[in-house]
Structure 1
């Protein structure tokens, strides 16, 4: 299993969703994708609708709170590969793994993958 350090996991736990969200938006928009598509990806992973995503931003929720309230898609475990130097399927810390799921989906969106591939719907 890929070991993340306790310090790394703590940094992920306390990181604020609202502070990372604008980077997600600019990353996908720079590559010709839309905020709506980003929300579609976030909704698929978390079960959050647009109002809930906005609430998380307004509340300045940490990633810990964000994923605690999420209803993670059962197909999330199909998200594999390397993101931020870590092989997702080998990350032991559950919250860190969930954050990397989101990072990977945003990355795939920005790279122009088809939505049905991103959403693991064959």
Structure 2
């Protein structure tokens, strides 16, 4: 694993930015929580513990119960990079989450964001 700067960002700070972005676009914190739990397998208590622990993103993803099996359906561009082309596994997970929050802020339905088949 490389020492990318993003890996040492504190998850609780990123989480608050996600919530701000969602609320700015008339979405809710509950939807942000649903997306994060869908992606990582955390339940609401586990997510709350991660936020309160002020863990780094690397720790947040390392301790995630399970990454959703439908992540391969997440495609598109985040920060000018196609998420499906990112080779570093941790960075790919971070960008998956960024992409899902971007979709929420752009008004996509939760069914589409969560890749309901």
Please classify the TM superposition score into its range, dividing by the shorter chain length.
over 0.9
Higher RCO structure, 1 or 2 (CA under 8 Å, sep 6+):
1
Task: Give the structure-2-normalised TM-score.
Answer: 0.94
* Residue among 98, 112, 116 paired with 1:103: 98
Cα distance in 1 between the residues matched to 2:106 and 2:56: 26
The answer as to 2:84 corresponding to 1:94 is: no
Q: Gapped runs of 5+ residues in structure 1?
A: 1-5
Q: How many pairs does the alignment contain?
A: 115
2:26 aligned residue: 32
In structure 2, stretches of 5+ residues that fail to align are none
RMSD across aligned C-alpha pairs, in angstroms? 1.0
Shift of residue 83 of structure 1?
Answer: 0.3
Shift of 1:69: 1.3
The 2-side partners of 1:41 and 1:83 are apart by 17
TM-score (norm 1): 0.90
Give structure 1 regions of 4+ aligned residues with deviation exceeding 6 angstroms.
none
Aligned to 1:3: none
